[in-house]
Amino acid sequence: MAYLFTSESVSEGHPDKVADQISDALIDNFLAFDADSKVACETLVTTGQVILAGEVKSNTYLDVQQIARDVIKKIGYTKSEYMFEANSCGVLSAIHEQSADINQGVDRKTPEEQGAGDQGMMFGYATNETENYMPLALDLSHKLLKELAALRRENTAITYLRPDAKSQVTLEYSDDNVPVRIDAIVISTQHDDFDEETAMLAKIKKDIIEILIPRIIAKNPEHAHLFNDKINYHINPTGKFVIGGPHGDTGLTGRKIIVDTYGGKGAHGGGAFSGKDPSKVDRSAAYATRHIAKNLVAAGVADEILVQVSYAIGVAEPMGIFIETYGTSKVNLTNGEIAKKVAAIFDMRPYFIEQRLKLRNPIYSETAAYGHMGRTPEVVTKTFSAPGGEEKTVTVELFTWEKLDYVDQIKTAFGL
């Protein structure tokens, strides 16, 4: 039976994402100057205020206030009327040293025996319904907001946009689980004040449908057939949206974990990513399971795959690996047999995940908006500055967990 499925995304200017981006900028700066840093940083943002809290074990000292201000400026909170502005907001740090009780369970004399930074279960998911093996509703939700942010920065075709925004896409699927059309699109975007609200709403809706949507179609021709004249658009459905960002809603690190992952498809173990160094398996093992799921689907093991791994704090070996293929398996094996083969191919001990995916590098700022999964791997050069004037330039590989570098090995193991 045909059905509807919905996913949402939020922009880089959404208050929770502002918090995520600050937390991950701190991670990157710590790792740039001390690759062995252990960091768990939480950020709270509200009207005119940033509060940093968490635990750190590192050999470097950072100007955390300046790092936070630089992130806020890059996002676009640069005007006093936003009531949250990069140069004038207060930044309070309550960061302290990591608990020795936790650290003793992670650090070992032999690096390979490194224990998991916490207990818990992590999930990775992949589907062949898009080229990047992501659920389509979430993929489109992200793309709508990335393009809206591009329009905001261009400030030509649309000149009234402010940083905060949310999107939501509802797809209709056929009986055989194929997306056939977009049923509804919801976009709420913060904007400058208008003299007259009715005219404002009409203009914003017109600009979204006639400027943003055509740009999305042009950049994603493979999905052009899903757009139609029967889409139910809800553009700023509450009306006026001038008050937004941290002034309109307090933001916290880790409150958008479904936006960060698969938009409600597959499953989620509950652990957030941003602000955590890779010894925290909430982050590293979630990336590792996505890497596994994507390579399995790309290799042709199944059309859709969910991978679960679980850990005990301080223990290197995972408690177990679980595979769900949703009845789409292309191999004559049970899900349990597939899991055994996966365990033989991928070493899921924390140290080996870090090494395989090159996670002890400053690669996390780019993950903190528009999703951690489904992104394009690339090599970039970054420069970081320490308070004493020291500069560190590093070349790093982003989104290594999105690489299809195990497809051949998987095909050999599964006889494909």
256 annotated ligand binder: yes
The Cα 409–Cα 171 span in angstroms is 35
- Ligand-binding annotation for 24, yes or no, is no
Quick one: how many helices (H) and strands (E) in the chain?
Answer: 12, 13
C-alpha–C-alpha distance, residues 300 and 231, integer Å: 33
Instruction: Encode pLDDT of 270-282 as tens digits.
Output: 999 999 999 999 9
The average pLDDT across 226-232 equals 94
pLDDT digits (tens, 9 = 90+) for 106-156: 665 677 778 787 889 999 999 999 999 999 999 999 999 999 999 999 999
Across 230-253, b (16+ Cβ under 10 Å) vs e yields ebeeebbeeeebbebbbbbeebbb
pLDDT at 105: 52
Q: Has 63 been labeled as part of a binding site?
A: no
Q: What is the mean pLDDT of residues 296-325?
A: 96
Q: Is the distance from CB of 61 to CB of 387 less than 8 angstroms?
A: yes
Please check whether residue 117 is in contact with residue 106, taking contact to mean a CB–CB distance below 8 angstroms: yes
165 has binding-site annotation = yes
Residue 254: partners with Cβ closer than 8 Å, 6 or more residues away:
20, 42, 272, 273, 274, 275
* Structure confidence by residue, pLDDT tens digits, 173-221: 999 999 999 999 999 999 999 988 889 999 999 999 999 999 999 999 9
**CATH 3.30.300.10 in the chain, residue ranges:** 3-10+136-244, 120-128+278-414
5 marked ligand binding residue? no
Please state which CATH number belongs to domain 3-10+136-244: 3.30.300.10
Q: Among 88-92, 99-103, 203-207, 225-229, which is the least confidently predicted range?
A: 99-103
Angular region, 126: left φ>0, alpha ψ -120 to 50, beta rest: beta
User: Residue 17 annotated as binding?
Assistant: no
Residue 408 annotated in ligand binding: no
Residue 98 marked in a binding site: yes
| pLDDT averaged over every residue in the chain | 94
Looking at residue 158, what is its pLDDT?
97
pLDDT band of residue 100 (cuts 50, 70, 90) is: low
Instruction: Confirm whether residue 146 is marked as ligand binding.
Output: no
Cβ neighbours of residue 308 closer than 8 Å, sequence gap 6 or more? 121, 122, 123, 267, 269, 289, 321, 322, 323, 324
State how beta strands 49-57 and 38-46 pair. antiparallel
Residue 97 scores a pLDDT above 50? yes
Residue 389 pLDDT class (50, 70, 90 cuts): confident
Strand-pair category, 90-97 with 49-57: parallel
Tokens of 70: 């630089």
Q: What pLDDT score does 101 carry?
A: 47
Does 86 show up as a binding residue in the annotation? Answer: no
**Dihedral sign, Cα of residue 322, residue 412, residue 265, residue 14:** positive
Three-class SS of residue 161? strand
If you average pLDDT over residues 252-265, what whole number do you get?
98
- Residue 104: pLDDT band with limits 50, 70, 90: low
Q: What is the pTM of this model?
A: 0.95
Tell whether residue 403 is among the known ligand binding residues.
no
What local confidence, expressed as pLDDT, does residue 77 receive? 97
- pLDDT recorded at residue 54: 94
Q: Is 164 annotated as a binding residue?
A: yes
> What's the pLDDT at 195?
85
The reply, when asked if residue 12 is annotated as ligand binding, is no
**Band (396; pLDDT cuts 50, 70, 90):** very high
Which SS3 state, helix, strand or coil, does residue 7 take?
A: strand
Please tell me the predicted confidence (pLDDT) of residue 116: 85
Q: Which fold has domain 120-128+278-414?
A: GMP Synthetase; Chain A, domain 3 (3.30.300)
**Residue 276 annotated as binding?**
yes
Q: What is the pLDDT of residues 351-386, one digit of tens each?
A: 999 999 999 999 999 999 999 999 999 999 999 998
Strand partners, 52: 43, 93
